[in-house]
Amino acid sequence: MPEPRRLLVLRHVPWEGPGLVTTGLQDVPTEDRLVVDEADPELPPAADLAGLVVMGGPMGADDLLEHPGLVAERRILADAVDAEVPVIGICLGMQLLACALGASLHPGHGTEIGLGPVDLLAPDPVLDPLGPRPEVLHWHSDAVDLPAGAALLASSPLTPVQAFRAGSALGLQFHLEVDRSLLGAWLAEPFMQADLAAHGISGMAEAGERVLPSLTPAAIRGLGTFAEAVRARA
């Protein structure tokens, strides 16, 4: 009997894990890797995966010399889309996905940090439960163009491409994976504290307490459709 396919999670810093994305996937074998600084990481063939999740991080999607593992991450993202593997890329992961599909990155396009709304522009099973203009968690300054052939799903005035769908892959510039517990872990990290201080941002915990109790159940429902697709391939 063949071994079940795995869910591969690629993170770029230890504290930015998959959070709500893996709710309901405890029965699927999961490989959680941090390969961003490896020159030639050994990643499995994309077609052998049950699913692929690529998380956020403080580096840029074009920082390929400083973080050579990003080259392999781009490659496996492109291969996963070709193989119709369920994919979610979040923040940096979304930017890597867009670049892997030929779109351009715009470093320093505009800083969005904190809880703020996005406009949902087209139906998608992951985003539909959120409602037409959900308030979500942002933490980025780079932006990407929409990949050719992809469907634009969400936008904000500062960041035109907040979410897109390219076949089996979903890119999210915002952090749908974060609940109150994960946000608390982020806010306890010295790096994240320094980033907030550098941008003069306060009150993140209070905003999370206001928004996340209602957002989290909707996020779990939407992300459950990704979990179903992963389980179908496992």
84 is catalytic: no
Which residue in 16, 73, 135, 177 is the catalytic one?
177
Token couple for 103:
């779109």
Q: Is 175 a catalytic residue?
A: yes
Q: What residue spans of 112-203 are helical by DSSP H?
A: 180-187, 190-198
* Catalytic-role residue among 12, 91, 99, 112: 91
Distance CA 141, CA 143 (A): 7
Q: 142: closest CA among 98, 109, 175? A: 109
Catalytic residue list contains 106: no
**Torsion of the alpha carbons at 175, 126, 169 and 142, rounded to the nearest 10:** -30
Indicate the helix (H) or strand (E) that contains 134.
none
Residue 163 φ then ψ, to 5°: -160, 145
CA distance 100 to 83: 14
List the catalytic residues: 91, 175, 177
